[in-house]
Structure 1
Amino acid sequence: MTDLVERLVPDELWGLFRRVVLPTEVKRPQGEGRRRSGDREVPAAIVFVATSGCTWRQLPPVFGPCWQTVYRRFAQWSRDRVWARLRRVVLDELEARGELDWSGCAIDSVSVRAAKGPLTGPNPTDRGKLGSKIYLVPDRNGLPLSLGISGTNMHDSQGLEPLVRGISPIRSRRGPRRRRPAKLHTDKGYDYDHLRRWLRKRGIRHCIARKGIESSQRLGRHRWVVERTVSWLAGCRRLHRRYERKADHFLAFVGIAAALICHRRLTK
């Protein structure tokens, strides 16, 4: 069991996680209650659920804590935005090593089917089936800088401003923290003048494909990076279909997958 926990949550990732969530010792009256479950086993069980796609009830007992305990801490950490803070800490470490490339970021979205819950909507490209949409802004190396979710009936252009604003201030090797890419590549779904004006106002150069002018075959020269990141997110099998009724739980699984992608680059 120790080998499985260390494989799912390596020592370096566990050290970064402890910086975000400090394990607290619960004091109980003498002779009452159970011993607190291992702090490292619970994140490992959550990562196992995210990567394998199993339900909470199917969580194998090899991790130690029961599935109710794992789910309870997952729900608490999701409300506290622990996974977003963990991704930010990993990005800080990557920027300190010079691994982030802000020269050419991109934006894209991917749709997944959903059972029910908020931030869902009829998918116009899937016969009106209920679904959610995952938005992401990766850097030139494919590392997710910003994430978001919405219903699939929301137009892609409406997600650009919230995503760019949602880029966390990353620790820079020189000077203040950075949160604006030097250039942003988008497809024809973002071909609107007000978005161009908004990006110029923030000092961000843009390369937005124009409808009826630029060929769709040339868009892949820069956008293949974000498409590769989408394929990396697909490695988290819990994201193949949304079963979570609560939007913050689904966003938490997206954040877990993004944190694992960033940590994989950190350990190379």
Structure 2
Amino acid sequence: MARALLPEDLWSLVAAHLPTHSRSPKGGRPRLNDRATLTGFLFVLKTGIPWEYLPCELGCGSGMTCWRRLHEWMQAGVWQHVHEAVLRRLREHDQIMWDRACVDAASVPAPAGGEHTGRNPTDRGKLGCKHHLLGDQRGLPLVAKISGAQVHDSRFLIPLVEAIPAVKGLCGRARKRPGKLHADRAYASRAHRAWLRRRGIAARIARYGVEFRERLGRWCWVVERTLGWLHRFRRLRIRHERRADIHQAFLTLACSLICWRYVERFC
């Protein structure tokens, strides 16, 4: 039996964060159902199919209608709110492990170019985009951002840590700072270690000539696994969007879906 693209529980969570729209007094064509539109988003994200080839059987209208709704909800902050809501659900069941966090990045091709793309020095100078990810001790994606493939990983360590949302769900103050932060040698610098120390985060960043790959992989393999999960969504494996906000919307939605799998498993 085929698995549903949009389970009822997930739709209920997303629907609570969608903006409300009143019908225009001038009349016109009725607005397409939000749930059908979201199904179209998920289909494009998972299959990588072009917008204009969306199957009519999904009932999500034309590809351009779905694209406009995706952009509209991105501007309204829907995807970030949904991601934080899923994290809050996990926090309520104490399923976010704040003791340690890991940060890493991976590049994907971007043959169409566009915003936040650049020449990838590890892929013969071809155009590419880089996904920067910060996850908890199990690799649960907490923050994800994009940049050009030519941007060095170290430039996103501070922005990723600052972008961790304050997650409520248990008694006491909302939690947003991990106890320790693990990273490979690409993030090694005295400035980063001092910045983390001032914020009460123990820096576990590999140092040149000291930590070996085997010791680093003991903790950092989880974020590499999560990057692999993200790139199983075919729309993220190769970037086709020229607009950075549309690609960021797909990336945040994919992080929410990965977090939702943890909700189904542990909550």
Shorter-chain TM band: over 0.9
Q: 1:8-53: per-residue Cα shift (whole Å, max 9, x none)?
A: 1111111111111044342444xx4223222211101101100110
Instruction: Give secondary structure in 2 for the equivalent of 1:194.
Output: helix
Q: 1:43-84: per-residue Cα shift (whole Å, max 9, x none)?
A: 011011001100100110112222221111011112222111
Q: 1:193-247: per-residue Cα shift (whole Å, max 9, x none)?
A: 0000000000001211111222122211001110111111012110111111110
C-alpha separation between the residues in 1 aligned to 2:235 and 2:22?
A: 31
Please show how residues 244-255 of structure 1 align to structure 2 within 5 Å. 244-255=241-252
1:53–1:238 contact (8 Å) kept in structure 2: yes
Structure-1 residue corresponding to 2:173: 176
Instruction: Give secondary structure in 1 for the equivalent of 2:130.
Output: strand
TM-score norm. by structure 1 comes to 0.94
1:112–1:132 contact (8 Å) kept in structure 2: yes
TM-score norm. by structure 2 comes to 0.94
C-alpha separation between the residues in 2 aligned to 1:149 and 1:133?
A: 6
1:23–1:39 contact (8 Å) kept in structure 2: no
Q: 1:195 to 1:153 in 2, by over 3 A?
A: same
Structure-2 residue corresponding to 1:74: 70
1:183–1:204 contact (8 Å) kept in structure 2: yes
Q: 1:77-130: per-residue Cα shift (whole Å, max 9, x none)?
A: 122221111101100111011111111110000101112111111111111111
Structure-2 residue corresponding to 1:7: 4
C-alpha separation between the residues in 1 aligned to 2:19 and 2:146?
A: 28
Structure-1 residue corresponding to 2:232: 235
Structure 1 runs of 4+ aligned residues shifted over 2 Å read 22-25, 32-36
Instruction: Give secondary structure in 2 for the equivalent of 1:84.
Output: helix
Structure 1 range deviating more: 186-195 or 172-181: 172-181
Query: What residue ranges of structure 2 are gaps of 5+ in the alignment?
Result: none
1:172–1:178 contact (8 Å) kept in structure 2: no
Which of 48, 51, 59 does residue 56 from structure 1 map onto? Answer: 51
C-alpha separation between the residues in 2 aligned to 1:19 and 1:134?
A: 28
Structure-2 residue corresponding to 1:223: 220
